[in-house]
Structure 1
Amino acid sequence: MVDTALYFSFTALYIALLGWGLFLYRNRINQSFAYFLLVVTLGLIYDNGLLATGIFIGEGSTLETLNLWRFLGHAFFTPTLVLFALGIGRHAELQWAKKSVTLYSFLLITIALILYELTEITHQTLQPVVEYGVLRYTLVGGSSGPPIMVLIVTFILLLVSISLFRHTKWSVMMLGVILMMLGSAMPLPIESGAVTNTFELIFMTALFMTMSKFLPKEAG
């Protein structure tokens, strides 16, 4: 039940991050691609909340449907981090981020990743899994190997964070991305399925810190 408690904790912390983001929305410029980060955070609140409560809901059609929506949310929301990166680049006055070709390229990449992920979901089935006291449904029957969508999103965030560091010396976003990559790639000798989520929380916190750093205040 340790993992269940951790997922409850993650849910609460993501709610706090969302509150921070809404505060920024009220007090900073409120027309920005950077606010797609709030959409991703909503998905993570749902994701961690469902992982925390799955054992109490119990195996069956209800939990299966709720998990399907978890994967659909992941498909729709996670690719929008590409647009978040574009928004941060624009607010940081990075020249490449201001070009029209960059805007259209990032929009196309986001749409393509959403469609790809939705296609992957339709070719898989949901099966119940109990791991470290956590009951969830997982997708099986898809293509083997690392998740392509997540790899592409992470690579774009890494490139943007490096550009941000080179031009502004802001290293928080870059360190957050690198830590998440290391946490996902390195097997750790810990009996828990929530370890990756810990690195994900650190990563998201770094993105919120970056948004707070570069979102300008409304004029007047």
Structure 2
Amino acid sequence: MDSWIYAFFTIGYVVLLLMGFYRANQTGLFTLGNLLIFVTMGLVYDNGVIAIGRWIGSGSFLEKLSFYRFVFHALFTPMLVLFSYYVIRESGVGWAKSKSAKRLFIAFTVLLIVLEIVTETMDVKLKVEEKFGALRYVDAESGGPPLMVLLTIIPLLSAGFYILKRQLWIWMLGGAVIMTAGRAIPLELDSTAVTNAFELILLICLWATKFYLDQKQRGVEV
């Protein structure tokens, strides 16, 4: 059953990705807001590999595909920090328009990428896991959400608060709160896809925020 759920999530991310490319073609590709494209691409790959795992079968090929799930997670997820900066800046927050603020967020993003690669990705040990109809390789030594994920949530929540306060737009904060609560509260469900469902909700809210800001200020480049 879970394989089909992950397939559904993959389709959802592909739809978001296509909408993102379409809007980027209208407003300009090279903006910080469009870093969300890379995050979404990583989630297309992540959910897609899990969705087809049972048909590929366990072995070196699926293990290699699964390893790149962790690589893309390390490279792309921290980009949500820069997306958060973009939202704060476009919400009209004065301090976010300074060059020093931009450099600080860039440095924090790079720090999180390096942190995840050094502490998680480089030494990841994969083991095969089959649950609820989905076959995948997981981190054999996982002890909960990586520090990088926890640190990424902070700017997301902050940006959600700022855009709610400045623009009365609740969806980014709502998505970030749902994602945070979903990771923090253990749910006893016959599925491994629960966390991925919260991720999809978050990405829908982030893309909705991106489209909202595009309508308010078209063609803004960094």
1:10-61 per-residue CA deviation (whole Å, 9 max, x = no partner) reads 0111000001101110112433101010100000000000000011111111
Match of 2:83 in 1: 84
Match of 1:194 in 2: 193
Contact 1:117 1:149 in 2 (8 A): yes
| TM-score (structure 2 length as normaliser) | 0.93
1:98-122 per-residue CA deviation (whole Å, 9 max, x = no partner) reads 1122111111111111111111222
Partners of 1:54 and 1:210 in 2: how far apart? 33
Match of 2:126 in 1: 126
86-95 or 150-159: which moved more?
A: 86-95
The CA deviation at 1:218 is 3.4
The CA deviation at 1:145 is 4.6
Question: Tell me, which stretches of 5 or more residues in structure 1 are unaligned?
Answer: none
Partners of 2:140 and 2:122 in 1: how far apart? 11
Q: Closer, same or farther in 2 for the Cα pair 1:145/1:202, shift >3 Å?
A: closer
Partners of 2:109 and 2:51 in 1: how far apart? 29
List structure 1 runs of 4+ shifted beyond 3 angstroms. none
1:52-82 per-residue CA deviation (whole Å, 9 max, x = no partner) reads 0011111111011000111000000000011
- 3-state SS of 1:135 partner: strand
- Percent identity, aligned pairs only? 36
Q: Count matched residues.
A: 217
| TM-score (structure 1 length as normaliser) | 0.94
Q: Closer, same or farther in 2 for the Cα pair 1:31/1:92, shift >3 Å?
A: farther
